[in-house]
A and B are shown apart, each in its own frame.
Chain A
Amino acid sequence: MKPALFLAAFATLAVAMPRALATDADGFAATYAAAQTAERQAGALHHQWTTTEADLKAAQAAAARHDNAAAIRLAQEAAALARLSIAQAQDQDAHWRDAVVQ
């Protein structure tokens, strides 16, 4: 994929997140745990994004001030970013050699 397109895909996917579960109190714990698991996986691949980390922190802060809707939205966004970073790692694992100076 062209880098600029890849970038656009990342941005689009991240903002097109559904806003389901937005009022479910238990929803936050589950959503946050899923995001954390994905982010740990990205970490094992050396492919974490600072934006994912920022969303995880912001989600915790929102939960702490009982803004559950925001907490869930942020955790969902973090999960989406973490999955994209894992996809990036997998894509690059297969294709990094294409960029090597020959």
Chain B
Amino acid sequence: MTHLPDTVTKPTTSNHTLIWYGLGLIALLAAPFLFYPVFLVKLLCFALFACAFNLLLGSCGLLSFGHAAFFGAAGYVAGHAAKEWGLPFELAILCGTASAAVLGFLFGYVSVRRSGLQFAMITLALAQLIYFLAWQLPFTHAEDGLSAIPRGKVLGLFDLDNIMVLYYTTAAIFLFGFIAMHRMTNSTFGQLLRAIRDNEPRAISLGYEVNRYKLMAFVLSATFAGLAGSTKAIALKIAALTDVHWATSGSVILMTLLGGLGTLLGPVVGAGVVQAIEDHLSSLPADFAVFGLFRLPPITAIIGAIFIICILLFRRGIVGEIQHWLDRRSGK
């Protein structure tokens, strides 16, 4: 057992957080000069999506297996609003995000009473329902999806077809979402969520209606997933079935765990790694044989392998391990 000093010891507030913030901001501003901007736009959308997922799993301990539903459905709605209703960029994004919030409320209302595997299964089942609807409803155009969605202009002034305008607009949306979610985890509400995650029966015995708090967290997480999905649909001009597919839900879990669950930058780093791998491997053949036995798309196989290695070697995820290492060095 560790020996504790019998004095009032304040936790050392981590200066790392500030350094991380600064580095992150510089990276965000400089990135389009170093990498292909469209790749970065996609990355930022998935990073925001992963942060939204992390908001629920990290602060509430709820593992949703259906987050693609919010991401994808919001994309369809935003795309439809921009293309068919001719709404401007901002309103289209708002429509998509709001639809994810409503969907989040419905999903959450049904699922937050459950926990663990049951919760994961219910969210998966509901997301499959959305996938089915995306197949069947006329406005989603089944396998074709929505394509050639017009991007429009930011504030009616800056043409989003200019790649740099597109990048910095996406970066601004990402930054807004990131900071907003960070504030939420450090809000009066976030504090109660942590308590509920740590010990739900105890929170109940103190008089808290824990399911209402979880529902609120679920809706917020779905809303930001929707913001990510809406932005992605308009920025990349497409909304397709893959966005609502369960594999996308799996992918966001992977990004979060790979980067570091419950860490600030983990989901962003995880999204970057997964996107970079997918981008590099997209030139490989469509599938290949494993030991001559069964065939797998290489992206799935390689990402799966990386995931297994990472989980075995760094259980805290990439950012989690780095933070742990820094804390240990500064601690002793």
Q: Is B a genuine binding partner of A?
A: no
A positions within 8 Å CB-CB of B: none
